[in-house]
Amino acid sequence: MGVSPGLATVATEPEAWVAAQVGGALEAVFETVAATRADTAAVLHRVAAEGRRPASRDLAALRPGLHLRLRHERLVSGVGFVADPGLLADVPAWLEWWQSGADDAVHPLLLDLDPRRSAYSDYTHWDWFALPRDTGRRAVAGPYVDYLCSDEYSLTLSEPVQVQGRFAGVVAADVYLRHFEAAVLPLLRRLSRPARLVNARGRVAASTDPAQLAGSLTRGPDFGELLGSGRPGAYEGLRLVPCRGVPLVLVLA
Amino acid sequence: MRQHEIDGGARRAVFSPVDSRARVEAVVRRIGDAIELGLLADGEQLPGESELAGQLGVSTVTLREALMALRQQGLVTTRRGRGGGSFVSLPEVPADDRLRARLLGWSTEELRDLGDHWAALSGAAARLAAQRTEPADLQPLRRTARELAHAAEAAARGRLYGRFHVELAAAAQSARLTREQVALQSEVGAMLCLVLADDAYREEVADRHRFLLSAVQDGAHETAGTLAERCVRESTARLVAVRLTL
CB–CB of B6 and A110 under 8 A? Answer: yes
Does residue A1 lie within any of the structural domains? no
The pLDDT value given to residue A3: 66
Q: Which of the two residues, B80 and A192, has the higher pLDDT score?
A: A192
pLDDT higher than 90, residue A209: yes
Is the pLDDT higher at A176 or at B159?
A176
CATH number of the domain encompassing residue B24: 1.10.10.10
Closest partner residue to B175 among A119, A145, A149, by Cβ? A145
Q: Is B7 on the interface with A (CB under 8 A)?
A: yes
Q: What pLDDT, in 10s, does the model give residues A58-113?
A: 999 999 999 999 999 999 999 999 999 999 999 999 999 999 977 778 888 877 78
Q: Decide if B212 is inside a domain.
A: yes
A204, A217 contact by CB (below 8 A): yes
Q: How far apart are CA B118 and CA A30, in angstroms?
A: 39
Nearest CA of chain A to the CA of B130: how many Å? Answer: 11
Percent of chain A with pLDDT over 70: 95
Phi, psi (5° rounding) for residue B139?
-60, -45
Min distance B80 CA to chain A CA atoms (Å)? 27
d(CA A86, CA A176): 30
Question: CATH code at A208?
Answer: 3.30.450
Using a CB–CB cutoff of 8 Å, tell me whether B166 touches chain A.
yes
Residues of chain B with pLDDT under 50: 1-7, 19-21
CATH number of the structural domain spanning residue A149: 3.30.450.20
Q: Measured between beta carbons, which residues in chain B are less than 8 angstroms from residue A113? A: 3-4
Q: Which domain holds residue A203?
A: 6-23+179-252
Cβ count within 10 A of residue B68: 14
Residue B144 lies in a domain: yes
For residue B44, give its domain range. Answer: 10-92
Q: In terms of domains, do B39 and B116 share one? A: no
Chain A residues within an 8 Å CB radius of B168 = none
What's the rounded Cα separation, in Å, for the pair B18 and B31? 11
As for how many domains chain A has, the answer is 2
pLDDT score of A12 more than 80:
no
Q: Are A223 and A198 in contact (CB under 8 A)?
A: yes
Q: What is the DSSP letter of A61?
A: G
Chain A nearest-CA residue for B148: A119
In this prediction, residue B1 carries a pLDDT of 36
Position A1 scores a pLDDT of: 54
Tell me phi and psi for residue A96, to 5 degrees: -90, 85
Q: Look at A246 and B187; give whichever has higher pLDDT.
A: A246
CB B242 within 8 A of CB B110: no
CA–CA separation, B100 and A182 (whole Å)? 50
Q: Tell me the C-alpha distance between A121 and A110, whole Å.
A: 12
Residue A159: per-residue pLDDT: 97
* Secondary structure (DSSP) of B32-51: HHHHHHTSS-TTPBPPPHHH
B2 in any annotated domain: no
Claim to verify: residue A53 and residue A118 sit in the same structural domain:
yes
Q: Which of A148, A121, A152, A126 is nearest to A139 (CA)?
A: A126
Q: How far apart are CA A114 and CA A93, in angstroms?
A: 9
Residue B1 forms part of a structural domain: no
Q: Cα–Cα distance between B102 and B48 in angstroms, integer?
A: 24
- pTM value is 0.79
Dihedral through CA B113, CA B119, CA B121, CA B123, nearest 10? -160
Contact A28, A252 (CB under 8 A): no
